[in-house]
Copies of this chain bind each other. A is one copy, B any other.
């Protein structure tokens, strides 16, 4: 069970670095330009494996298709509901607040918090200018 770093896997990693939080099909379409034979299944499988191993991040936002992220450091995501762009925000400075929220929830629900999911949406500055 030796992990083979196939050409396809490298292309997927490369696409992730070039695109901004792409969906699986965005990765697929990007690679297809230079390598038309890539299979959508291969893209999904590798993104899933990489996310599971912690090499990349899977971002589930509501009911839209999952997005993937090469940055695995702790950070938050904000999406513009006008243009769809996804913005990163370093959550370092919020660490204490987030811990406080966890503690509050543990106390009021009895659940030992192991994971939190949060994302935000609004209108980005360039979309605000346009209107």
Contacts and interface: CB of A to CB of B under 8 A. Distances in A.
A94 B97 CA distance: 10
A111 B97 contact: no
Contacts of A89: 104-105, 108-109
A128 interface: yes
For this chain, the copies found in one complex come to: 2
A81 B116 CA distance: 12
A113 B104 CA distance: 24
Interface in A51-82: 60-63, 66, 76, 78, 80-81
B125 A121 contact: no
A82 B23 CA distance: 29
Contacts of A120: 102, 105, 111, 113, 115-117
